[in-house]
Chain A
Amino acid sequence: MPSTVIIIEDNPNSARLASKLLRGADFEVHIAEDGETGLDTASEQAADIVLVDLGLPDLDGQTVVALLHQEAHMADVPVIAFTAYPPETAIEMARAYGCDGVITKPIDTRTFVDQVRSFMKPVDTPETDSQPGS
């Protein structure tokens, strides 16, 4: 089953590029172009990871991150700051808001997918029953 990523990003070029790279690596991608749509998408889709642009046109990205953290079903879902902020500020904001990581823009197309994967929680595999004779 493909992993699901939600990209909350208002810049269509950035969203398209990220989406293309992730779909090419078998991710299921949902794009939300503003904060409120992103929150709705996160409540409708069982995401494995959410990328949040910190500069959004309706709600601040930081506010979106804070609201995502208040959703019980998001407790184990990594939320990543996806931002054009200067790296130092991005890291400080991400830390303050409890993000699980930072990806700065413009993205490096060679490493982006691996970066996303590195922030994802390992998938639990069901334990196989190895009892003999069962």
Chain B
Amino acid sequence: MPAPKNIAVPCSRYDFNELAEIYNQTRIDYIVPMPMNGKRMRQYVAHYDIDLEHSIVTTSEDGEPIGIGMLGVRGHNAWITRLGVVPNQRERRIGSFLMTNLIENARQCNAKWIQLEVIVGNEPARNMFVKYGFQPSRELLVIRRPPKPHAEGTHPLVHELRELNDQKIYDCLARRDPGASWVEDTPSLLNTGKLKGITIRMGDKGSGWVVFMCTRFQIQHVVLQATETHYDELMSALLYYMHELYPNRDTKVENVPADHPVWRAYVALGYVVDFKRMEMVMEL
């Protein structure tokens, strides 16, 4: 009996509610449940520069969606995300079909590098990515902190604390250290359009700034930068005042490199690891 034929349909043929529903069906039994609704999918596409024309839904011959994979494109860089196959269609090479199509689409978009993340522990997916030539580059942490008052006696002394206006926020992001993951990179932050920032100066200990997205309920996309001397102290102080200014927000920070010194400041402020991802890259 011939193998069933898979069909690649551009995601642009579906609305955001449909895409969210297809995606949710592929992740129904996933290690870390991350369902979306149409609104969240729309934001995801906008924030992360998802190219819907080159992202695909795989359907069976009768048109039933059985898999999805999305492609973000920024210049010569591409990013595969939201990849999944519905549970009853797995082990039929649909994941490979999606990957082959997405990589080809990335080439069509003139991408020279392609990257993705896989949740640590998802060995079948990781093995498939390795077969396609992706190499692990670094472990990333997704971390969280619930809203809570600061512990007594932890108030850091600063000589100057200022909120940043939009122009200052752009200036800070323009000179941030390189190496952010796709979702935390500057284009992602600028796409959110809800950025806040503060800068502090701690006398001769140096200065630093933090830029973050602040919504009604959450703080996300936190970018911290400080002078190297007294790094930990400055970073902790920046986080302290960010939470002091927005005490009722839950905070979620994605893709903190596990070996980055900033992690020490997050620990000091009571962040916990939600889950871990492995970033993987490939030259096209």
Contacts from A to B (Cβ < 8 Å): 10-11, 34, 53-60, 62-63, 65-67, 69-70, 83-86, 89, 92-93, 96-98
Contacts and interface: CB of A to CB of B under 8 A. Distances in A.
Nearest to A65: B146
A66 B20 CA distance: 25
Contact of A92 (B28, B145, B272): B272
A111 to B, nearest CB: 22
Interface residues of B, number: 26
Contacts of B29: 84
Given A55-B35, A93-B274, A96-B144, A62 B250 contact: yes
B22 to A, nearest CB: 13
B36 interface: yes
Nearest to A70: B248
A67 B274 contact: no
A117 to B, nearest CB: 25
Contacts of B144: 62, 93, 96
Given A62-B250, A63-B250, A57 B274 contact: no
A58 B40 contact: yes
Contacts, number: 62
B147 A54 contact: no
Interface of B: 20, 24, 28-29, 31-37, 39-40, 144-147, 217-218, 248, 250, 252, 272-275
Contacts of A84: 29, 33
B20 A59 contact: no
A56 B217 CA distance: 14
A69 B34 CA distance: 22
A67 B247 CA distance: 12
A89 B34 CA distance: 14
Q: Is the interface of A mostly helix, strand, loop or mixed?
A: loop
Contacts of B35: 10, 55-57
A94 B146 CA distance: 11
Given A55-B32, A66-B146, A60 B275 contact: no
Given A59-B217, A60-B252, A70 B147 contact: yes
A69 B149 CA distance: 13
A58 B35 CA distance: 8
13 contacts: A10-B35, A55-B34, A57-B24, A57-B36, A59-B217, A62-B252, A63-B217, A66-B250, A70-B147, A92-B272, A93-B144, A93-B274, A97-B146
Contacts of A11: 28
B146 A62 contact: yes
Given A70-B248, A89-B275, A93-B272, A34 B37 contact: yes
Given A66-B146, A92-B272, 18 more contacts: A10-B35, A11-B28, A57-B20, A57-B35, A57-B37, A59-B217, A60-B252, A62-B146, A63-B217, A63-B250, A66-B250, A67-B217, A83-B33, A84-B33, A85-B32, A89-B274, A89-B275, A96-B146
Nearest to A39: B217
